[in-house]
Amino acid sequence: MQITGAAALVTGGASGLGEATVRRLAAAGVDVTILDRNAELGEALAKELGGATKFVAADVTKPDEVAEAVALAGESNPLRIAVNCAGVGIAMRTIAKDGSPHDLDTFRFVIEINLIGTVNVLTQAASAISKTEPLADNERGVIVNTASIAAYDGQIGQLAYSASKGGVVGLTLPAARDLSAVGIRVVTIAPGTFDTPMLALLPQEARDALGAGIPFPKRLGNPAEFGELVHSIATISALNGEVIRLDGALRMPPK
């Protein structure tokens, strides 16, 4: 798909994998709208990149806020790309050491953002993209979701996180099949251990140990590599209905 001059919406775009995606798409001539709850970081990134890059403060779990963001993203050029990077993670075992059960409200919170938030953006973006003029092969656009290798290799304490990301993996193919009628592709990336702001809170020794555990390359993933994969997915029209592990061949141990 030709993406130069198209518009994109990137959730969680103010930092981490989302920020790297915003930078890569903007460099490719895409009009990017950053959706994030962190207005300070989002506005600073939009100002830095300039051009047609915009920021909107919104919560992916709120339908009205996402609808406004989708409309804003498609104001200047046809919306053809939506990338779901917004997400949260917690560590909580199925039962605690004292035998108490996993807190259900915490489980709902993770599912609400990582899974329901993804569905909210996916469906609303797809609705807008379906109304654009088709390109070659009657293609209208692509939606890229972010899962995690925890969907397959969930570790101790990742009950909620793995369940939410497993849901994103599971919806990829049916969404792609549903949207094939209107020329919209759906692809999910399942990243491994990446050098994001969350990991930056760890001591360097711990970060080095995480990187050394990856078969190859023996380092943490660079967010720019995630952004590059999003760019490739957007431009390669045959990529559809697939979940791509971006993990250096890592298979997570139990803990």
Q: What angle do CA 201, 203, 206 make, to 5 degrees?
A: 110
Catalytic residue among 55, 107, 161, 226: 161
CA nearest to 78, candidates 138, 155, 131, 143: 131
Q: What angle do CA 26, 148, 182 make, to 5 degrees?
A: 60
CA dist 1 and 12 (Å) reads 24
Cis check: omega of the bond before 63, within 30 degrees of 0: no
Neighbours of 51 (CB within 10 A): 11
161 in catalytic set = yes
Distant-in-sequence, close-in-space partners of 205: CB < 8 Å, separation ≥ 6: none
Contact predicate 65/42, CB 8 Å: no
Q: Name the residues annotated as catalytic.
A: 161
